[in-house]
């Protein structure tokens, strides 16, 4: 008597396939829920609030469409805020990233007291921004501040760094670079220590110089690290608010007021929730566009891993 082959349990197989297909979504569900609750919903709500006129002049919120955005872009003060923010971003981000890479290359060598050097450059990072701003507030003090004492050695007249509209933003830029360069340096150090050494040994045997190895091997292999560091640097630059509050209060004559500080001032000083929401939407849009563009550009070059 011939035995019939046992037919598979189709119901069990179907359940297995459904479970296998659903597993990835179940694994990312907690993260998606967190992002939806704490990122997507607030972003949608702030965009909704930006469409209403909500300030001390009106008792009930009034729908105004894009009126808050139009009012912002017609305001000369907001123009100055945008200019200050752009200058600050383009001054601090490239210099901080470049200095971080240089320091990482130097501190990746075998040196005496290497840990001490790394700690010295990383120490500003662990300082709270309020403390760092207070230290530099003293250093910028006219007459006896350490910065003025230093420049007087070169026969340069003492300056009122935070009281001069032409110097106040530069003073904040110097503080920003000093504060965050060591933080970015750590990422580059980690990236350098993770690079394959056999490639550099092969390049050395082929006669490649240190500059050629850095240009054609080190920098391309660190493209992923540079993408991450640049993104974090830009986000940090747009989040500048503590040092402005401590050191200048946005002055003199709005010379140091930037987007996030202007948002805080609009919401808590002027009590204009509509305009504050519009500024928030602009800030979110700018950071989102930069992040996506930066990522796509690196992907297109095919060097991000």
User: What does pLDDT average to in each consecutive run of 10 residues of the chain (305 residues)?
Assistant: 53 75 83 88 92 85 91 93 95 94 87 81 89 92 87 87 92 94 92 82 76 79 87 91 91 91 91 92 91 78 50
- pLDDT at position 70 is 94
Does CATH number 3.40.1190.20 belong to domain 77-301? Answer: no
Please state, in angstroms and rounded to a whole number, the distance separating the CA atoms of residues 122 and 181.
Answer: 8
Q: Which residues contact 180 (CB under 8 A, 6 or more apart)?
A: 92, 96, 124, 125, 233, 236
- pLDDT at position 247 is 92
**First and final C-alpha spacing in the chain:** 61
Domain with CATH 1.10.3720.10 in the chain: 77-301
- pLDDT at position 2 is 54
- pLDDT at position 269 is 87
- pLDDT at position 9 is 56
Cβ-contact 255, 172 below 8 angstroms: no
- pLDDT at position 303 is 46
**CA neighbours closer than 13 Å in the CB half-sphere of residue 257:** 18
């Amino acid at each position: 008597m011939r035995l019939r082959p046992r037919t598979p349990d189709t119901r069990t197989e179907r359940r297995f396939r459904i479970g296998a297909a659903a597993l990835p979504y179940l694994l990312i569900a907690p993260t998606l829920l967190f992002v939806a609750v704490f990122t997507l919903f607030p972003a949608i709500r702030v965009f909704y609030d930006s469409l209403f006129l909500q300030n001390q002049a009106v008792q009930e919120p009034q729908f105004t469409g894009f009126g808050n955005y139009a009012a912002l872009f017609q305001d000369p003060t907001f123009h100055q805020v945008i200019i200050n923010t752009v200058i600050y971003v383009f001054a601090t981000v490239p210099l901080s990233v470049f200095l971080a890479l240089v320091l990482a290359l130097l501190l990746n060598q075998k040196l005496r007291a290497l840990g001490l050097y790394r700690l010295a450059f990383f120490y500003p990072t662990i300082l709270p921004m309020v403390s760092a701003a207070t230290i530099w507030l003293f250093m910028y003090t006219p007459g006896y501040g350490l910065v003025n004492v230093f420049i007087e050695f070169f026969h340069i007249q003492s300056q009122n760094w935070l009281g001069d509209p032409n110097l106040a933003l530069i003073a904040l830029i110097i503080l920003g670079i000093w504060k965050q360069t060591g933080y970015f340096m750590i990422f580059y150090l980690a990236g350098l220590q993770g690079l394959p050494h056999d490639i550099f040994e092969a390049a050395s045997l082929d006669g490649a110089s240190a500059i050629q190895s850095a240009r054609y091997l080190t920098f391309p292999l660190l493209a992923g690290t540079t993408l991450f560091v640049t993104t974090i640097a830009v986000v940090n630059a747009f989040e500048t608010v503590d040092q402005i509050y401590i050191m200048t209060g946005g002055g003199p004559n709005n010379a140091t007021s930037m987007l996030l500080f202007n948002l805080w001032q609009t919401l808590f000083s002027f009590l204009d929730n509509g305009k504050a929401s519009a500024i928030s939407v602009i800030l979110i849009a700018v950071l989102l566009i930069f992040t996506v563009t930066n990522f796509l550009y690196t992907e297109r070059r095919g060097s991000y891993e």
